[in-house]
Amino acid sequence: MRRSIARAVLCLVLAAGAIYLRPGDASAQQDMESMPGMSPTPTPPPAGEAAADVSAMPEMKPAGEPAKKEMSGMPGMESSGGSAKKPMGAMPGMAGETAAGPPRVAEPGVTVLGPHQKWAPPPGDDRSRELLSPAELQEHREPLPPPVRDRIIHSFTLAEILEYRLNSSGPDTFRWDIFGWVGGDKNRLWYKTEGSQQLSGGQSGEGDLQLLYGRLIAPNWDFQIGARAERSLGTGRADARTYAVIGLQGIAPYLFELEPSLFISDRGDVSARITVSFDLLLTQKLVLQPRFEGTAAIQSDEKMGVGEGVNETDLGLRLRYEIRREIAPYIGVSWLRQYGETARFAEREGDTTDSISFVAGLRLWW
């Protein structure tokens, strides 16, 4: 009985509470709306009514005309329509980037350059102003002179052959071959002398002297033109001739030194001479030099002991030791032979026409 009464009372209490709370919600909502700064949330109107209301508001334009005019009037803003589109490369900070390709991504520590950017070296640690005086700085900044166009006068002399010849037949002889030049890199005055003198017997011999103008026509090649005076040496002989000279002197491929010359005498006789030599370095100081010299003539000149055709050849092999580059004693062998009319003229004078010689001499240059 007691339990039934308790249940009935509890049901009545719950029902009264529910009735009390429902009108409280509405009143609470009214109380919140009456608070300062609080306004009810309006129910959104239909789309048609909203568009009409917005277009009716002051300073508002229909949605069919976007606000591009107002945006174009702003500083730094231009119209996005039509063909007047501004390239992205012209925008600040967008240099070198185009919409055609993906943006450049650099690895850490690597600088990626755009197509219109140029690399510039970083500033170095230039301490020249601290270490050099202004005069020294100015001297180093002046351009260097051209390598082969200076006007300094140089000189050079080479005694290629100064030797004593111990001949297998006939008297011993002394022979010399010296040349040199004075001038610049392109224009030079050349001087040459060559000859031989018997040291016993009739003491006959011959010698010549050339003065030439040389012009550089190619690397290591000089064209030479000038005059030559030749004289017979010995007791009771004083024959002489004068020649015009045209020749070349230089270094051929494989380091062969060539010296071909053409002579035209005051009588109109034409002759030629060629000298070829090659230096083979056995060590830094020991040099083996094969050498060939030959002469020929178109006309004979009995007075000077020159016949028509090949006159003579001199083939030698010399081994020199360079104490210094300027001083080199040498020893070797030489084979001298005369031909044709020249040999007959030599036999008439009592000279040998074919001999092998042991040579010893000194090579100098300065």
Q: What confidence score (pLDDT) does residue 139 get?
A: 77
Q: What confidence score (pLDDT) does residue 141 get?
A: 73
Closest CA to 196 of 352, 28, 82, 327: 352
Query: Which residues on adjacent β-strands are paired with residue 221?
Result: 218, 250
β-pairing, 240-252 with 221-233?
antiparallel
pLDDT at position 339 over 90: yes
Closest CA to 188 of 243, 225, 146: 225
Closest CA to 261 of 195, 311, 212: 212
The answer to whether residue 312 is domain-embedded is yes
Task: Name residue 341's amino acid.
Answer: E
Q: What confidence score (pLDDT) does residue 135 get?
A: 83
The percentage of the chain sitting over the pLDDT mark of 70, rounded to a whole number, equals 63
Report, as an integer, the average pLDDT of 38-42. 52
Reported as a single tens digit per residue, the pLDDT across 224-251 is 999 999 998 876 567 899 999 999 999 9
The answer to whether residue 174 is domain-embedded is yes
Residue 25: both structure tokens together: 């919600």
Weakest-pLDDT range from 13-17, 38-42, 115-119, 340-344: 38-42
Q: What confidence score (pLDDT) does residue 228 get?
A: 98
Give the separation between CA 22 and CA 25, rounded to whole angstroms.
Answer: 6
pLDDT at position 191 over 60: yes
The answer to whether residue 177 is domain-embedded is yes
- Is 63 in contact with 47 (CB distance < 8 Å)? no
More confident residue, 138 or 88: 138
The answer to whether residue 155 is domain-embedded is no
Which CATH number belongs to the domain containing residue 295 in this structure? 2.40.160.40
The answer to whether residue 113 is domain-embedded is no
Q: What confidence score (pLDDT) does residue 68 get?
A: 47
Which distant-in-sequence residues (6+ apart) come within 8 Å of 365 by Cβ?
A: 156, 157, 158, 159, 325, 326
pLDDT at position 187 over 70: yes
Query: Which residues on adjacent β-strands are paired with residue 41?
Result: none
The answer to whether residue 15 is domain-embedded is no
Report, as an integer, the average pLDDT of 188-208. 89
Q: What confidence score (pLDDT) does residue 42 get?
A: 53
Report, as an integer, the average pLDDT of 297-324. 94
Q: What confidence score (pLDDT) does residue 79 get?
A: 45
Residue 251: both structure tokens together: 């270094």
Helix (H) or strand (E) holding 286: strand 286-297
Reported as a single tens digit per residue, the pLDDT across 170-180 is 889 999 999 99
How far is C-alpha 234 from the chain's CA centre? 57
The answer to whether residue 96 is domain-embedded is no
What's the number of domains the chain is made of? 1
DSSP state of 324: B
Give the separation between CA 224 and CA 263, rounded to whole angstroms.
Answer: 12
DSSP state of 344: H
Reported as a single tens digit per residue, the pLDDT across 65-122 is 444 444 444 544 544 444 444 445 445 445 444 444 455 555 555 555 566 666 665 6
- Is 161 in contact with 177 (CB distance < 8 Å)? yes
Give the separation between CA 252 and CA 221, rounded to whole angstroms.
Answer: 9
pLDDT at position 291 over 70: yes
Domain residues for the domain of 183 are 161-365
Sorting pLDDT into bands at 50, 70 and 90, what band is 10? confident
- Is 327 in contact with 365 (CB distance < 8 Å)? no
The secondary structure of the chain in percent helix, strand, coil, rounded to multiples of 5, reads 20, 40, 40
H-state helical runs in the chain: 2-33, 47-55, 68-72, 128-131, 134-141, 340-348
| Sign of the CA dihedral with 113 first, then 114, 115, and 120 last | negative
Report, as an integer, the average pLDDT of 122-138. 72
* Rg (alpha carbons) of the chain, rounded to whole number: 56
Query: Euclidean distance between the first and final Cα of the chain, in Å?
Result: 152
Give the separation between CA 142 and CA 265, rounded to whole angstroms.
Answer: 52
Residue 202: both structure tokens together: 């009739």
- Is 322 in contact with 328 (CB distance < 8 Å)? yes
Sorting pLDDT into bands at 50, 70 and 90, what band is 136? confident
| DSSP string for 191-231 | EEEEEEEESSTT--EEEEEEEEEEEEEETTEEEEEEEEEEE
- Is 103 in contact with 97 (CB distance < 8 Å)? yes
DSSP state of 234: S
Report, as an integer, the average pLDDT of 164-171. 91
The answer to whether residue 232 is domain-embedded is yes
Report, as an integer, the average pLDDT of 35-59. 49
